[in-house]
Chain A
Amino acid sequence: MALTRRSIHFDLTRADVLASGHVQPDPSLCVQCGICSYNCPLGLDVRDYAWRGAPIFDGQCLTCGQCVARCPRGVLAFARTGMAQQVVPLRPNPKD
């Protein structure tokens, strides 16, 4: 696969989120349907975090986004943990 600027940008952004982000639920929207837990590739019980309103601070969480994307009610979102400063920011391409 050609290594396009876009794919580099995607990978670096993802790396940034992996290094510095977590998934944050909003329990006021959640109806505990369990679609998030069902689709977690690591088998984490995301729904239980959503019940407690707790960020998914689990060493196994890949922040892959499956739960975020599949939640039908927008309960889950990526949030920064404040460690993002340690990641070198991407320089915009002057040609863009």
Chain B
Amino acid sequence: MAADYVIVGSGVAGIAAAEALRARAPGASITIVTEDADGFYSRPGLAYYLSGTIPEKQLFLRSQADLRNLGLRWVQARATQIDVVGHRLVLADGRNLTYDKLLIATGARAAAPDCPGGDLDGVFTLDTLGDAKRLVRKANNSDQAVVVGGGITALELAEGLHARGVNVHYLLRGARYWSNVLDAEESHLVEDHLRSDGVELHYHARVRQALGKKGKLIAVETDSGEQISCQILAVAIGTRPHLDLARAAGIKVDRGILTDAYLRTSAPDILAAGDVAQVYDERSGIASLDTLWPTARAHGEAAAATMSGAPAPYQRTAAMNVTLIANIPTTIIGALGSGSDEDLVAIARGDSESWRGAKPAWVIVEQHEVNRVRLMLGERTISGALVMGDQTLSRPLHRLIAAEADISPIRDALLADQHAMPQLIAAFADEWERSHAHNA
């Protein structure tokens, strides 16, 4: 009998799993259960929709016809319970779906605003296309916004609202932006760019309360007593995996749903993938959260392999994100920082816990006016890197970091003259690629 696969969630992990399952099992029944009325779209693309770079329709990377051709059964509903023994998923409207294998790919939700007045009309978090559309509509009728939080989403909100003609105040709780991934110089580069774009930065500023009139936001009050009048308060203080479904079913959870390298949870025939999954890595012996689109896609594909009976472990590589931070092309690879960031209460989107696993290392920096490369140099390997501006070195560095390439031949030279670093890395990476290709 054909297998019955049920996937909860219509983000990239869920859809990548559905596509891979269809390729592996042409006759199987595949059901997607999602609360999101907009279905599958590029969630990272919301930043570019918010700034007006692309229209809404561009966010959809699969047409209705594409999805029909995959032969998916699409159920728009909230999943409320799992009957682990009976292999049944219970929906909020009372329906039951039986499954042979169940994949939980429910993603993460933005942490709720942590100040009084957080429920006023005009206070926003950014999770879904629906949220982005409401924010755009509000921005078109607003002239002042306050943004709080950290990581990439907070900047995307600040820049998106600014691009929509709203005067933006960005409140940082500490002395600088994203202090547990960027170093002080990198934070200042980002802050300088924001200021030159016209965003007003406030340091050591915390929202004491959001003030409203007839349920509508009119201002925020900071803990120094200052009031900033605004119609929008956009909050990006981190995300938390949707754990309710797994918790209620007695599935083991930590910060996310715990899975092995094959994406299997503690419950039989139930897997988890994407932002909701805290996946065990056999090499490091650590289970960590990532909120990166390519990682979620790879999770979905690995889960599909396990579900279809041909398990192949998810191969974690050095976490990497390339994005514009305040319009500066920036690549973050491997372990770079440590500690916590006052602006975030949980992991941001487009983030990886592994970036904060920096071990004692020599830090080598090569900087020009707009370009900057920072290397975290271990005894034999490069453990992390951050490339701002010119991106020539980002791909070679990702290869060297992901492969844990032995850089001892150039280590002394790197330490002796940091200005020679770009040439040394480029030449070494070329040579390494050649010998690697030869050995492979």
The size class of the interface chain B forms with chain A is: 20 to 34
Enumerate chain A residues within 8 angstroms of B54, measured Cβ to Cβ. 33-35, 38
Enumerate chain B residues within 8 angstroms of A32, measured Cβ to Cβ. 12, 42, 44-45, 61, 293
Asked if B395 and A72 make an inter-chain contact with CB atoms under 8 angstroms apart, the answer reads: no
Q: Which of A16-34 contact B (CB under 8 A)?
A: 26-34
Q: Is A74 an interface residue (CB 8 A)?
A: yes
Query: Separation in Å of the B419 CB from the closest CB of chain A?
Result: 24
Enumerate chain A residues within 8 angstroms of B394, measured Cβ to Cβ. 74
Q: Which of B298-328 contact A (CB under 8 A)?
A: 317, 320, 322-324
Asked if A31 and B61 make an inter-chain contact with CB atoms under 8 angstroms apart, the answer reads: no
Enumerate chain A residues within 8 angstroms of B59, measured Cβ to Cβ. 33-34
Q: Which of A61-79 contact B (CB under 8 A)?
A: 72-75
Q: Is A51 an interface residue (CB 8 A)?
A: yes
- Cα A31 to Cα B156 with chains together (Å): 15
The size class of the interface chain A forms with chain B is: 10 to 19
Known A72-B323, A73-B322; judge A31-B58 contact (CB<8 A): no
Q: Is B329 an interface residue (CB 8 A)?
A: yes
Query: Separation in Å of the B245 CB from the closest CB of chain A?
Result: 26
- Majority-rule SS of B interface residues: mixed
Asked if A29 and B58 make an inter-chain contact with CB atoms under 8 angstroms apart, the answer reads: no
Enumerate chain B residues within 8 angstroms of A73, measured Cβ to Cβ. 322-324
Q: Is B338 an interface residue (CB 8 A)?
A: no
- Specify which of A28, A33, A37, A75 is in contact with B320 (CB 8 Å cutoff): A28
Enumerate chain A residues within 8 angstroms of B42, measured Cβ to Cβ. 31-34
Asked if B53 and A31 make an inter-chain contact with CB atoms under 8 angstroms apart, the answer reads: no
Question: Which 5 pairs from chain A and chain B are nearest by CB?
Answer: A33-B45, A31-B44, A34-B58, A31-B293, A32-B42
Point out residues on B near A: beta carbons under 8 Å: 12, 42-45, 47-48, 53-55, 58-59, 61, 293-294, 317, 320, 322-324, 329, 331, 391, 394-395
Q: Taking A32-B12, A33-B47 as given, write out 9 further A-B residue pairs in contact, using a Cβ cutoff of 8 Å, ordered by the A residue number.
A: A29-B320, A32-B44, A34-B54, A34-B61, A35-B58, A51-B61, A72-B324, A72-B329, A74-B322
